[in-house]
Structure 1
């Protein structure tokens, strides 16, 4: 299937050709016809699957360019994600012969200037964060009573960041008859009341993928046991020689600490987390695009809210508390069929989380740093499996005893009894020998 099969307006096809978009992704192939039909939709698919154009292309197809009204409203949970959607929309609008007005409303920008523009003219498409959009709606300046398409992008992240109540307030101001589109990497249970409140007979489509992350990504595990983590990450960073590496941490405090350490040791590192002021974050992102940095220390906000091109390596300072974020982190690399390496630092207490990730389809390679290079090492389960061996004998004993209790032929019963007794004798002899050795050793030490 090709994009031309959708029979979009000519300028939309020109925009797609400019992007060298020829074949739709699985999400686009399955869901664009649904969106074009006007039906409410809940689309669940992994990050980087092409969700943005899945809703943008039908919005432009159904847009009345001569209208003076706001026709489509799109919310995103972060300023960075809103900016990405805005840029994608601007790229499409650029090829239209008629003027298409698109506005990006996010926190940290000039609200008074936005209100002045709204006094003169309404945009056709509104994109932004829930808080700023609702502020403008409350003033009565942003008129959304004629909107026919409402998109909630990254709904699970919107919920996690506490913005769903604001989205609810925006939705309450919209007309009763409109198309409601929800896109998300996951659909958590806590999101269900919101969906039931506003969506009418929605199609719920989960796009399954063969692998949770790209096949081109290698996942390495490095143990932190007995190591200073800052120095270990510094050693890893120097060995990688990356085009661009993202180092993910679990807290803002950890981001500040690690960033300061890496900078003090001469690495070109930036940091991105929720406490960085909007203007500063914008400056950092511009520097990232200019390749002024080789390393970005980031919290999970960046994993979901940013689309940074050219990430060759991902380093997980620790396994995230929410394991779904592991997928989003690792998904920053290995895009567009390019190779990528994700390195995760772990300690013995992380074993259960690693096993859960393996059940999700992630294959890990155990590595160590030796002689100034990464080398394969033994599987982390080696000691675990060795310690479990004695338990197999106990299980066997239990089985024999259970067989003994069953009503079976007398001769067979005697054989089982003999095996049980023999095992018990061997166990007693082994225990006595161990006890004797311990007593002799203690006796020698006493002299």
Structure 2
């Protein structure tokens, strides 16, 4: 594994861009992926959010680009406009150090297509970044010549699949050069994605970067029970007592995003919001304002969880647990980046305990906290009795009393009686747990129906 970016023998302007970014040494995903791309091989990069994967593909691709060739050479697709904007800005930063002009373009839905077409008549972009729908529209209409490009990056492939964009990406790949080098990046590789990968990738290199923990070690992951309290008030307390540098508050529905933003503004806070129901131009403007740190507080939907990549996010607050557990990781992954510390706070109600358990089964560890006397303090683990007493926490007082009798009081048939008592109690608890799970699934199903893009 390379210890320094200098080992890759990048062009001078690429090294200048790396120095400007303040990068010292390649991250694990960069150390694996950069040599693979430079050797012209197709690659599947599987790593956690915040791992540095964007520059893992941008640096070698831009380094290899032929600035003298005016045709389109690289196509990068993303499932969300926000992520497309983010990658486009990353490309602009790197190419700004080149002495030769490199033409780049960002094509996303909701922008001025006619203006894009007029510009395409004059010149073709050498690097294309955008959402699948707009890229395919421009290509099918004969305005964008992606048939000359032989390098395709599919970023956030699992989200591309979830949002139903894979068929569109398939058509983009089919329209490109035959000797295509495909680079697929994803936090997970769902089974439904594999047929697509086999179609275009022959013997791809799988660079799977395992993580010691699901959540970045630089993130303090707190869990706070609402205990029936008003969530809006709790969020306001957390924001004002913590004095965050930049806080992101995530909610499951656009209606809830609107509600939180309106409440916090009513409390005198300057708050921005981002969700799928906003006009594209408004979303783009607000994203730029957020990136310029015009706001200290941002309320967002999961649509933005993978599109916001801003230095200095000190706090993430989950208004509730997302309906898709993977989104929890992407939410929390907005903080604790580039070696900086971060705090993630998840609020949960009594009916969400099953969802918390599911996150814990994924390897996510929480620190139980509560708000007391204007401060966030440690509190007891909600499952402390289970951990302390083991199996016996399921038993009621009378059963425990039977177990704890001294041996001298043991009578014939004692062991059988105890076993029956334990079995009866276990059966009863299983029924209670089953009812709880059914109720939880019904509520989760209701939340899923409200989910937006």
Query: TM (normalized to structure 2)?
Result: 0.85
Q: Corresponding residue for 1:103?
A: 105
**Contact 1:314/1:332 (8 A) holds in 2:** yes
* Counterpart in the other structure of 1:94: 96
Q: For residues 420 and 165 of structure 2, what CA distance do their matches in structure 1 show? A: 68
Q: 1:6-405 counterparts in 2 under 5 A?
A: 6-382=8-384, 388-390=393-395
- Note closer, same or farther for the CA distance 1:21–1:309 as it changes in structure 2 (3 Å cut): closer
Q: Which runs of 5+ in 1 are unaligned?
A: 399-414, 428-447
Query: How big is each residue's C-alpha offset from its partner over 1:63-115, in whole Å with a ceiling of 9 and x where there is no partner?
Result: 11111211111111122211221121122222222221111111222212221
Structure 2 contact 399–418 (Cα < 8 Å) conserved: no
- CA deviation after TM superposition for structure 1 residue 426, in Å: 12
Matched, 1:420 2:425: no
What SS class does the counterpart of residue 64 from structure 1 fall into?
coil
Distance in 2, Cα, partners of 1:423 & 1:103: 73
Unpaired runs of 5+ residues, structure 2, are 404-409, 423-453
Measured after TM superposition, the shift of residue 316 of structure 1 is: 0.6
CA contact (8 A) 2:241 2:375 kept: yes
Q: State how far apart, in whole Å, the 2-side matches of 1:426 and 1:270 are.
A: 57
d(CA) in 2 for partners of 1:426, 1:153:
56
Q: What count of residue pairs does the alignment treat as equivalent?
A: 411
Sort the Cα spacing of 1:238 and 1:260 in 2 relative to 1 into closer, same or farther, 3 A: same
SS of the residue corresponding to residue 357 of structure 2 reads: helix
Q: Does the 8 Å CA contact 2:316/2:335 hold for their aligned counterparts?
A: yes
Cα deviation for residue 397 of structure 1 reads 9.7
Q: Distance in 2 between matches of 1:423 and 1:140?
A: 79
Task: Give the deviation of 1:163 after TM superposition.
Answer: 1.4
Change in Cα spacing, 1:168 to 1:393, as seen in structure 2 (3 Å) is farther
Task: Give the whole-Å Cα distance in 1 for the aligned partners of 2:417 and 2:96.
Answer: 86
Output the CA distance in 2 between the equivalents of 1:316 and 1:346: 9
Q: Distance in 2 between matches of 1:397 and 1:37?
A: 71
Partners of 2:217 and 2:318 lie apart in 1 by: 19
Q: Distance in 2 between matches of 1:422 and 1:21?
A: 67
**Counterpart contact for 1:242–1:313, Cα < 8 Å:** yes
Given that 1:28 and 1:51 are in contact with CA atoms closer than 8 Å, whether structure 2 keeps it comes out as: yes
Question: Offset of 1:394 from its aligned partner?
Answer: 7.1
Are the counterparts in 2 of residues 268 and 292 from structure 1 also a CA contact under 8 Å? Answer: no
SS at structure 1 position matched to 2:338: helix
Q: TM-score, normalised by structure 1?
A: 0.86
The 1:137–1:383 alpha-carbon spacing in structure 2 relative to 1, beyond 3 Å, is: same
SS at match of 1:367: strand
CA distance in 1 between counterparts of 2:420 and 2:101 reads: 92
Moved more, 418-427 or 374-383: 418-427
Which SS does the other structure have where 2:305 is aligned? Answer: helix
- Say if 1:419 and 1:233 are closer, same or farther in 2 by CA, change over 3 A: same
Q: d(CA) in 2 for partners of 1:57 and 1:374?
A: 42
